[in-house]
Structure 1
Amino acid sequence: MSTVLLLIHVMIAMALVGVILLQRSEGGALGIGGGGGGGGAGFMTGRSAGDALTRATAILAACFFATSLTLSILASHNSASGPSIVPTSGGEGGLAPLAVPGESEPAAPAAPVAPSGPQVPQSN
């Protein structure tokens, strides 16, 4: 189910990119039918082509939004039952201490070590 929805989502995204690229940046449309001034000379006038592209963009954007929400809901339902790479129990921060071979219990954390850099004499 999620694979089919993901493929539909990708096709909607590609169609949305194509429709957006067809539009002019001035707010008009591409003028697909030619003859923008003639009263019915072309298939679509410039204004009707712009309205169609604007409507197609809005519809594709709504479909993209709906498939995005649906995919995120499906992913959250599937992740609750699936395995995770992040450990959920253990030591501090979710990490379990390492076990040393031959010992029955893991070793305790070592005490902090003082820095071993060059010592600077302090003047009074």
Structure 2
Amino acid sequence: MLYQIIIIIHIFLGIGIVGLVLMQQGKGADAGATFGGGASGSVFGAQGSASFLSRTTAIFATLFFITSLGLAVMGGYQGKKTDIVLESAPAAAEPAKSELPLPQSAAEVPAAVPGVVDAKIPEAPAIKEVEKPAAQ
């Protein structure tokens, strides 16, 4: 349940960061304000909304980073046992049963394939020396 709550907060923080970044003015907009932009009558004071929006964006970004780390840590522990002491030893594996019948006596063992054991590897042909032409 806590995981879902953090995900919801994380999504709202992401949407908030996008909205705050879109509301901020670019650096080039400050030059236009010097020629009578009327920033002194704004809601946020003579300095404008830049410090308020940038500070709020920094806070949202920090919270977004913290929730990202929290979700990563919590996601890594999902489905894993946390107590090593309570883990049971793995069960002994039973030998695999063969579908082929095993021979019960030496009489049932098939004879070796004839010719395989007694086969000889042919020798490589002798290399003949080529006569070198006399140097002139």
TM-score (norm 2): 0.49
Supply the distance in 1 between the matched residues of 2:28 and 2:80 (Cα, whole angstroms).
Answer: 46
Q: Would you identify which runs of 4 or more consecutive aligned residues in structure 1 move more than 6 Å? A: none
Partner of 2:94: none
- Counterpart residue identity of residue 52, structure 1: F
Contact 1:16–1:60, Cα closer than 8 Å, also in 2: yes
Residues 27 and 58 of structure 1: CA distance in aligned 2, closer, same or farther (over 3 Å): farther
Cα RMSD of the aligned pairs, angstroms, is 2.8
Supply the distance in 1 between the matched residues of 2:55 and 2:15 (Cα, whole angstroms).
Answer: 16
Partner of 1:122: none
Alignment of 1:66-105 (within 5 A): 66-81=66-81, 103=99
Q: What is the CA deviation profile of residues 37-71 of structure 1, one whole-angstrom value per residue up to 9, with x for unaligned ones?
A: 364x3322463300000001100000000000000
Q: Which structure carries more relative contact order (alpha carbon 8 Å, separation 6+)?
A: 2
CA deviation after TM superposition for structure 1 residue 25, in Å: 2.2
Q: What is the CA deviation profile of residues 70-120 of structure 1, one whole-angstrom value per residue up to 9, with x for unaligned ones?
A: 000101111424xxxxxxxxxxxxxxxxxxxx937xxxxxxxxxxxxxxxx
Supply the distance in 1 between the matched residues of 2:46 and 2:14 (Cα, whole angstroms).
Answer: 25
The aligned length equals 79
Supply the distance in 2 between the matched residues of 1:58 and 1:2 (Cα, whole angstroms).
Answer: 24
Supply the distance in 2 between the matched residues of 1:27 and 1:15 (Cα, whole angstroms).
Answer: 24
Residues 3 and 52 of structure 1: CA distance in aligned 2, closer, same or farther (over 3 Å): same
Residues 21 and 50 of structure 1: CA distance in aligned 2, closer, same or farther (over 3 Å): same
For structure 2, list consecutive stretches of 5 or more residues without a partner in the other structure.
31-35, 82-97, 101-136
For structure 1, list consecutive stretches of 5 or more residues without a partner in the other structure.
30-34, 82-101, 105-124
Alignment of 1:16-55 (within 5 A): 16-26=17-27, 36-37=37-38, 39=40, 41-45=41-45, 47-55=47-55
TM-score (norm 1): 0.53
- Percent identity reads 29
CA deviation after TM superposition for structure 1 residue 4, in Å: 0.5
